[in-house]
Structure 1
Amino acid sequence: MKRLSISIVAFLLMTIGSFAQEKEYKPLIDVFVKDYNTNDYDDIYKHFSPSLKEELPSAKAKSFFVEMKEKLGNIKSMEFYGLDDNRLALFKTEFENNEVALLNLAMNDTGEVVGFRILDMPAPKDDSFKKMSIEEIIVTETLNLPEKGQYAIALIDNDKVTYHGFKNNGKDVRVEDNADKQFSVANLMTVFTSTVLAQAATDKKIEMTSNVNKYYDFNFNKNLKLPFIALANHSSFVPMLPETSSKSTMSEDDFLTKFTSTQLEEYLANDLTIDSANSERRQSFSFLGYAILGNTLSKVYNTPFDKLIQENVFNKYKMTNSSVSIPKKKKNMVKGISLNHKDVYPIQVGALLPSSGGISTAEDMAKFVQAEFNEKDAVLQLTQKPTLIVSPNYWVSLGWKIGYPFESGEPLYFTRGIDSGYSNYVAFNPVAKKGIVILSNSSSEAALNALDALSYKLVVKVFEDK
């Protein structure tokens, strides 16, 4: 369809109150269609929430609807289409110029509009891959990686693991023996940090709902309180990253890479703030939140963070080729591919390590996933316990996202990591005792799209195929 130059996309809330059924949306839709077709844009604006009005002044909202009317004409019909991935209502909308689009509407529990978008109608879903073998699927998506891009994949069925490795050589795709090769784990490290958090709770060293503040000998800025559980499930709303110091002569990347625990604590004392732009959401991912969590766990155990991960995760689950530190000798490490197609290695980070860092292999990650199946492992069972409901089909535990995509109603625990030159995806169903590990050495847009496609197809093949 013809693209509008502006769109109203602010504050798409993901609260349970927002997930009305079709009949609950109908009064607002009827009013919207009437007001839109009669050019009564001021009345539409009256239904905007205060937060949306703050982000979108009346004049800008009016120019959006004027442009929409000029390009698409009046609305001929609207009918409920379904819910998007965030469980927000979609309406199939037919306009006078015969364009058909999806209107994506978000409402809060008081019936106010908190988000509005016009989207293209999706193309019919292509499920032809279901007739392909797993190897054919992987080869197809490997072709979408840059030259030298590769996948190291582990498919887990209880105590059985099948490994697949493929590499794009530019002209073709070849089998690659890389199950024991090291890749950056990127922000998959948050799962390992959460495992240490669960260990601390199991050891009765902390209470999950207690604040981390008690482990510091100073007050946090603005006397803000940060519960362990909120940092772990990203509902604390601390910013994604600390702001680069105005006094620093380093680039932002260098500043964040070399960000120390001393700087972190100075930030907590003097600059800690809440990300108000995201405070109406149920959660907002934060590298900084996990840095605070890891720093606090070091205080709880009086042990360096890297040692906590080594002892409570890598050693415990026999992940012998995994490490928090980047070794000087990198013979066993797969080189990442930067956005400008240069070879890169994972970067050793400082205080942000609990949120992104370290290396592992498909073999080691398969061991970790298999450990998740052990119902007697109190620590990992605690990491699987839901702590936040983002939407009816999207929950969060400690480090893991939880989806419910299967007709059986069984959960899918999953996470995706992205680092400079690397990306990954890990998922498992603890009921069926099946899992997937995908490690890649590229994080370009094309590579991430390929990872999304590959993970979706493998989830269908591994978890749904009978």
Structure 2
Amino acid sequence: MRRGIIFSMFLLLYTGSVRSQVRLPECIEHKDVWTKTQKEQIFEHVRTFPVQTQLAFAFIENGAVSFSGVISENDTISVVDNRHKVFEIGSISKVFTASLLAALVVEGKLNLDDPVNDRLPFALKDSIRPTFRQLANHTSGLPRMPSNFDGGVPFDPANPYRNYSEDLLKDYLTRQMELIYQPGERSEYSNLGAGLLAYTLAKVTGLNYLQLLKKYLFSNYGMTASTTQREDVASYMVSGLDQNGRETSSWDFSVLIGAGGILSTTEDMAQFAFAQFDESNRELKLTRIPTFEVNERLAVGLGWYIVRTSAETELYCHNGGTGGYSSSIALDTNRANGVIILSNVSAFHPESPKIERLCFSLLQTIGDSSE
């Protein structure tokens, strides 16, 4: 999965001026959903995307949510109600995987600093012993991807995770695995680590990833449209677009499903955001505690990236990208504000980082009643 988080960029966007200087063109058809500044930002970020691009938005202000969306058709960007439409959320799935870990910790079924080796039916190569915490905050020393990732037969670049099987993962972990840095030394993004975390949690509980999600998250927070099984929501899915704007294959994550395999809607994602505002929710609160300090402005929790925009403000954020979709979530839990964007912009589209930039620039406008 392509990682689109650009920390220096979103820090600049959030702390600096984000007001667009473009004039809102007549080609945007809109209702009174956004302020003038928000409409300008949305147009400026969306106008370069292909025809049939859709963005679905959830705006949360003081714990109240509004939904809207846009679709690009010919030369027009029109408002559309797509809150019920399903998108791949890509790496935002990692926040859910880490939330499963937190739920099991609160239940007393494991500890964050337990080595995953002790919960697997085989020993890792060279007795490497990454902990659950290290897998959840990307400090395990594991590489981004396993070295035998293209060993699935056939390897399909349009659906690259589909044939990476449990047997291949086990072979990598027991015979090929090498650390790229000492555990705890730094935080370096790892799809492998997140996939291994979900795989291990399944071994601990005897439940598969979807069963875990339903038991601990989806059912608790009313996320009735969220799943990992595309066939269950096929009639509601927005078609993914490749980097050239053509319809493309969805991604099937197989054994590394915990790295990016969830499909959801903005309506469901808003439910998950509301749960983050509940300070009595012990497991979700645990995910937002900093576990590794990258620098004075950036930390990593369990799954979440934590951006400190001021002494009083911390934002909890993550993005996601697959071959046909890009997504972003940013929450200010102190103010119960947030923005969620799901889209069918390919992570490989050259302008895909605009999805995350738009998310942060829109979050800054929430509460701004000047226009």
Under TM normalisation by the shorter chain, which class is it? 0.7 to 0.9
In structure 1, the residue matched to 2:212 is 308
Per-residue CA deviations over 1:132-154 (Å, capped at 9, x if unaligned) read: 43233223322122111111000
Structure 1 residue 249 displacement after superposition:
4.9
How many residues get paired? 343
SS in 1 for 2:230: coil
Structure 1 residue 280 displacement after superposition:
9.6
Residue segments in structure 1 that go unaligned for 5+ positions in a row: 1-83, 87-124
Structure 1 residue 172 displacement after superposition:
1.1
Residues 237, 304 of structure 1: CA spacing in aligned structure 2 closer, same or farther, 3 A cutoff? same
In structure 2, the residue matched to 1:141 is 45
Residues 137, 85 of structure 1: CA spacing in aligned structure 2 closer, same or farther, 3 A cutoff? closer
Residue in structure 2 matching 1:411, options 293, 307, 314: 314
In structure 2, the residue matched to 1:262 is 167
In structure 1, the residue matched to 2:284 is 380
| 2:223 is the counterpart of 1:319 | yes
In structure 2, the residue matched to 1:159 is 63
Residues 216, 336 of structure 1: CA spacing in aligned structure 2 closer, same or farther, 3 A cutoff? same
Q: State, as a whole percentage, how many aligned pairs show the same letter.
A: 27
Q: How far, CA to CA, are the matches of 2:249 and 2:100 in structure 1?
A: 26
Whether the 8 Å CA contact 2:50–2:244 is kept in 1: the answer is no
Letter in 1 for 2:8: D
In structure 2, the residue matched to 1:85 is 8
Q: How far, CA to CA, are the matches of 2:368 and 2:192 in structure 1?
A: 36
Per-residue CA deviations over 1:392-416 (Å, capped at 9, x if unaligned) read: 110010100000114x521000001
| 2:177 is the counterpart of 1:272 | yes
* TM-score, reference length from structure 2: 0.86
In structure 2, the residue matched to 1:423 is 326
Structure 1 residue 242 displacement after superposition:
1.2
SS in 2 for 1:428: strand
Structure 1 residue 465 displacement after superposition:
7.0
| 2:123 is the counterpart of 1:222 | no
Residues 311, 247 of structure 1: CA spacing in aligned structure 2 closer, same or farther, 3 A cutoff? closer
SS in 1 for 2:57: strand
Residues 259, 251 of structure 1: CA spacing in aligned structure 2 closer, same or farther, 3 A cutoff? closer
* TM-score, reference length from structure 1: 0.69
Residue in structure 2 matching 1:361, options 256, 265, 278: 265
Per-residue CA deviations over 1:358-407 (Å, capped at 9, x if unaligned) read: 2100110011001100011111111111111010110010100000114x
Structure 1 residue 317 displacement after superposition:
0.6
> What are the equivalent positions in structure 2 for 1:108-119 lying under 5 Å apart?
none
Residue in structure 2 matching 1:170, options 66, 74, 92: 74
Structure 1 residue 244 displacement after superposition:
2.8
| 2:19 is the counterpart of 1:128 | yes
What is the CA RMSD across the aligned residues, in angstroms? 2.4
Q: Which has the higher contact order (CA 8 A, sep 6+)?
A: 2
| 2:131 is the counterpart of 1:240 | no
Whether the 8 Å CA contact 1:221–1:269 is kept in 2: the answer is yes
Per-residue CA deviations over 1:265-290 (Å, capped at 9, x if unaligned) read: 222111121024x9896211111101
Answer with 156-165 or 389-398: which moved more.
156-165
Whether the 8 Å CA contact 2:227–2:262 is kept in 1: the answer is yes
Residues 255, 151 of structure 1: CA spacing in aligned structure 2 closer, same or farther, 3 A cutoff? closer
Whether the 8 Å CA contact 2:90–2:322 is kept in 1: the answer is yes
Letter in 2 for 1:213: N
Structure 1 residue 459 displacement after superposition:
2.3
Whether the 8 Å CA contact 2:319–2:329 is kept in 1: the answer is yes
Larger radius of gyration: 1
Residue in structure 2 matching 1:210, options 114, 122, 132: 114
